[in-house]
Amino acid sequence: MKTVKETAKKSASYGGLTPEELIRFYRTMYTSRKVDDREILLKRQQKIFFQISCAGHEAILVAAGMAMKPGYDWFVPYYRDRAICLALGNTPEDQLLQAVGAATDPASGGRQMPSHWTSKELHIVSPSSSTATQCLHAIGCAEAGRYYKNHPDAAKKATGDYREFKDVVWHGDEVTYVSIGEGSTSQGEFWESLNTASNAKLPVVYVVEDNGYAISTPVEANTPGGNISKLIANFPNFHFAEVDGTDAIASYEAMVEAVAYARAGKGPALVHAHVIRPYSHSLSDDERNYRSAEELEADALRDPIAKMQVWLIREGILDADGVKALEHEVDVEVQDAADRALAAQPAQPESIFVHQYSEDLKPTDAIFATEPKFEGEDRTMADLINATLHDEMRRDERIVVFGEDVADATRDEPLRAGKLKGKGGVFKLTSGLQKEFGNDRCFNSPLAEANITGRAIGMAVRGLKPVVEIQFFDYIWPAVHQIRNELSVMRWRSNGTYSSPMVMRVPIGGYLTGGSIYHSQSGESIFTHIPGLRIAMPSNALDAAGLLRTAIRCDDPVLFLEHKRLYRETFGRAPYPGPEYAIPFGKAKIVKPGRDLTVITYGAVVPRALQAAQKLEREKGISVEVIDLRTLAPYDWEAIAESVKKTSKVLVAYEDMKSWGYGAEIAARIGDELFHDLDAPVRRVAGLDTFVAYQPILEDIILPQPERIYDAMAELAAF
């Protein structure tokens, strides 16, 4: 019989793992492989519809799961991470329910492909199929944990009974895990995340699972020098480790050290694990087309399952009969899980739209219809947006504001000493926020729009309320990947388990006299085409204040489009309506009643349409009704229909290019559903189908002007 001392010595040689833990380690690895194998069989039987495996990655992933704390730490995985999810507490049945697309699939309700893990209880954040986007979500998750440590009142509010995500927790020393394939380290979001993790010394543990291939592209064609560790070695504040990810003990030791470093607050860690891929990239791929038989045989000799089985027997932890009994037990468990999954009811049609938007605190709710309590003199749209941000940040400590140049001064000592006025955004709309609320509530981001958006998603998942700024709509495009594939779909793809209710403020539009191509863009129709995203575009100061407050307080992600030309216009000024004034989304405003013709518009075209309508009424006696939509998703179809039925003639006016623009859908729906109420064809006035030019003579022709709107109204009225 072994003494306690001998047992401790043996355990130390096993990386600190006891024999019982080593058996559990192997059991989890073997379970992961058997679930892969069962899915492959089911796919070949056409009982499931896609398969991508974790095979060859099991050792490093089980090591990561055993080195961390489920339901305490946070996990932002990717699609090869079956084994860590099992180690954290996922079951084979959980995973197979996703494979069959069952209604009871706990990860997505049959909405996501297999291998898209999600668990609120285990803190596994819903991933997408996109590569590297998850790295920025991990950054936001880690930032939220640090924020709650310093702002306990915000943590209490994030767990309040009015929030859908009711169990946000923080411990002060939690670590965020994020994994990525070596091929995906080519993506910009990976590097953007390293930048922020390093700068902020965040407790993030990266695992790079390097199986040598990005589908069919070998590592030497993907990564300069063929080794990602060499490229990232100079990032400060990082702990780096490179390990044989097929060796269970070495992997566990590396993960324990990395997690301890991050948990101690020293900074982020990255473990570069060399693993194998014994199966093809997915069942849609055949690696024999690009990998030699010799290479595949060499990988087989490093199979982590076989290696650990031999090691357990050699060390006397299990004998051959013990291994056989364990594997038989797992085989039966996986078979039974597959049988139950196959018998489960598939996801049903009535579930399609469930969780596309919040069922709690919708921006369309009547609770947001409040009366103004005016204070002081008329102020500009810019002034009222700034005042609203100040009031909302005073009300809710969960709100953080960040983006490019939004802070008053990152180096704030001279600011606090009164030596600097501060910047507060290129348009000054965030002026004073940092000075009043501090550097951790209003701060500058790197010049990287995906970084801003991805981090905000991670923060929002954990209950913060980010209000971020994209400096110009013209530069939003690097963030579109995060907006379309992550932000808008988080709630739907996780079947309501997670959501990302944040506000993205974006200055938009032209009429700037010299704004040119890269400071005059519209393009709202691209975003109104995205389910799950709410979009506001006010035309005046009062609406900007009311809609922004609704955007911040509601439980959906909101793209808040602020027309730059309107920021300081005389048109639409108003006194501040008070700290509770809000406007529901989807409620248009009739800015001028009329009986002969309806004009539907929004944004900077509103004052131009109003000017044209007033002139037409003065000169020709034609009464024009001008409708300001105010929000584009949702929009007020009832107000449109009521007006069109009254006037029987309609013009849709918008700033963006005419072809494929937002107004085209409005016009099409009117023609489709209100055809019998029309006395004339639906007309559109919009920008020309080209870019906005720098020379003001050209800009005036390209963008819709009051004269062009006037002419279209007159022609339509005479039809």
Domain boundaries, the chain: 4-342, 366-576, 590-717
Is 5 in a helix, a strand, or coil? Answer: helix
- 158 in Cβ contact with 464 (< 8 Å): yes
List the structure tokens of 710: 């006037």
Instruction: Phi first, then psi: give them for residue 590, nearest 5 degrees.
Output: -85, 105
- 561 in Cβ contact with 535 (< 8 Å): yes
Residue type, 445: S
List the structure tokens of 201: 């010394």
Sequence-distant (6+) residues with CB within 8 A of 338 are 38, 42, 92, 96
Same fold, 4-342 and 590-717: yes
pLDDT the model gives residue 1: 45
Helices (H) and strands (E) in the chain, counts: 27, 21
- 25 in Cβ contact with 17 (< 8 Å): yes
The order of strands in the sheet holding 269-274 is: 74-76, 176-181, 204-210, 269-274, 239-244
pLDDT the model gives residue 215: 83
Which CATH number is correct for 366-576, 3.40.1010.10, 3.40.50.970, 3.20.20.70, 1.20.120.420? 3.40.50.970
Is 192 in a helix, a strand, or coil? Answer: helix
What pTM value is reported for the model? Answer: 0.95
Burial profile 219-228: b = 16 or more Cβ within 10 angstroms, e = fewer: beebbeeebb
What is the DSSP secondary structure assignment for residue 540, as one 8-state letter? S
State the catalytic residues. Answer: 519
pLDDT the model gives residue 159: 61
Which CATH number is correct for 590-717, 3.40.190.10, 3.40.50.1820, 3.40.50.920, 3.50.50.60? 3.40.50.920
pLDDT the model gives residue 306: 96
List the structure tokens of 588: 């248009």
Q: Count CA atoms within 13 Å of residue 237 on its CB side.
A: 18
List the structure tokens of 421: 């006025």
pLDDT the model gives residue 11: 62
What is the DSSP secondary structure assignment for residue 119, as one 8-state letter? B
Ranges of residues in the chain whose predicted pLDDT is under 50:
1, 4, 161-166
Give the number of other CB atoms < 10 A from CB of residue 152.
12
What is the DSSP secondary structure assignment for residue 105, as one 8-state letter? -
Sequence-distant (6+) residues with CB within 8 A of 438 are none
Partnered with residue 626 across adjacent β-strands are 592, 599
Instruction: Phi first, then psi: give them for residue 596, nearest 5 degrees.
Output: -100, -20
Instruction: Phi first, then psi: give them for residue 495, nearest 5 degrees.
Output: 55, 40
Is 38 in a helix, a strand, or coil? Answer: helix
Closest of 408, 543, 398 to residue 463, by C-alpha: 398
pLDDT the model gives residue 285: 80
What is the DSSP secondary structure assignment for residue 278, as one 8-state letter? -
The domain made up of 4-342 is a member of CATH 3.40.50.970 = yes
β-strands 176-181, 239-244 pairing: unpaired
What is the distance between the alpha carbons of residues 529 and 658, in angstroms, rounded to a whole number? 16
Instruction: Phi first, then psi: give them for residue 652, nearest 5 degrees.
Output: -105, 125
Output the DSSP codes for 392-459: HHHH-TTEEEEETT-SS-SS-HHHHTTS-----STTSTTTTHHHHH-TTTEEEPPS-HHHHHHHHHHH
List the structure tokens of 517: 């191509």
Residue type, 112: Q
β-strands 631-633, 534-536 pairing: antiparallel
